[in-house]
């Protein structure tokens, strides 16, 4: 797998958010599909990690990249909008500086692509955009053999994370949970049913994004929530 360690993420001085710009089922359900769209222009302070917009609203920033991924292994042209089993437009707000994202290598040379700077975003990216901005990024790339699970996963300040992507929300949720169960089995050397029992009180399922043609769901196992009995340390080091 390709290990992408996010060392630093510094947003540019301005960004934007738009809502109700497209006619889709969600906007019709929310009663905003007829427009006009609402645009927010943000001034961003990368040192203080604070942003303020032209409507007089301020919020804290948590910069990340919406796109980190490798291409699919099929020949031909492919849309960059939906995330895939090799990553891409994941849109996960937990992939802040200090995180490492692990991606299955699909083609010779890996052909890593990253971009789509977000100064801040809520889980779901509900309007279809976050605070979109330019981003100066420092990463370290490495190769990993024998990963704990074969699918896209990450170690972040929020904890261990696994992902699911599907047009069906139930399937995306099941994919993310399935991968997390495999990780728990690796960490604690338990069977699958026991891993599910451990996940129920410890793992959080979150809607990563609903804006990119398929549902994204990520499962989060916060660091140190599950520990070996008699130890205050996590089962294995964070990089495992």
Enumerate the CATH 3.10.28.20 domain ranges in the chain, comma separated: 153-221
Place of tokens 């499962």: 219
In this predicted structure, what is the pLDDT of residue 232? 60
Q: What pLDDT is recorded for position 229? A: 87
Q: What single string gives the DSSP state of each residue in 5-43? A: EEEEEEEEEEEEEEES-S--HHHHHHT-TTS--EEEEEE
The pTM score is: 0.92
pLDDT for 120 equals: 98
For the chain, the maximum distance between any two Cα atoms, rounded to a whole number of angstroms, is 59
| Structure confidence by residue, pLDDT tens digits, 36-46 | 999 999 999 99
Listed residue (216, 211, 215) closest to 17, CA to CA: 211
Q: Write down the pLDDT at residue 43.
A: 98
What pLDDT, on the 0 to 100 scale, is given for residue 230? 78
What was the pLDDT predicted at 234?
53
- Residues of the chain within CATH 2.60.120 domain(s) are 2-143
pLDDT given for residue 34 in this prediction: 84
**Which residues of the chain carry a pLDDT beneath 50?**
235-240
What CATH class has 2-143? Answer: mainly beta
∠163-64-235 over CA atoms, to 5°? Answer: 50
């Amino acid at each position: 797998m390709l290990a992408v360690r996010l060392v630093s993420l510094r947003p540019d001085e301005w960004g934007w958010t738009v809502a109700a710009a497209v006619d889709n089922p969600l906007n019709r359900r929310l009663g905003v599909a007829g427009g006009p769209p609402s645009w927010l222009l943000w001034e961003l302070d990368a040192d203080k990690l604070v942003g303020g917009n032209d409507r007089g609203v301020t919020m804290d920033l948590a910069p990340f990249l919406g796109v980190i991924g490798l291409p699919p292994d099929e020949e031909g042209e492919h849309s960059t909008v939906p995330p895939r089993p090799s990553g891409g437009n994941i849109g996960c707000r937990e992939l802040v500086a200090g995180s490492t994202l692990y991606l299955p290598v699909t083609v010779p040379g890996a052909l890593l692509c990253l971009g789509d700077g977000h100064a801040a975003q809520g889980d779901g990216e509900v309007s279809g955009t976050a605070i979109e901005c330019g981003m100066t990024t420092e990463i370290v790339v490495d190769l990993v053999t024998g990963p704990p699970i074969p699918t896209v996963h990450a170690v972040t300040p929020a904890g261990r994370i696994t992902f699911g992507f599907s047009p069906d929300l139930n399937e995306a949720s099941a994919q993310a949970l399935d991968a997390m169960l495999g990780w728990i089995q690796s960490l604690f050397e338990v069977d699958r049913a026991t891993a599910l029992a451990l996940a129920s009180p410890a793992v959080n399922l979150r809607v990563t994004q609903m804006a990119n043609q398929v549902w994204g769901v990520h499962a989060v196992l916060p660091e140190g929530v599950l520990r070996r009995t008699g130890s205050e340390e996590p089962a294995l080091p964070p990089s495992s």
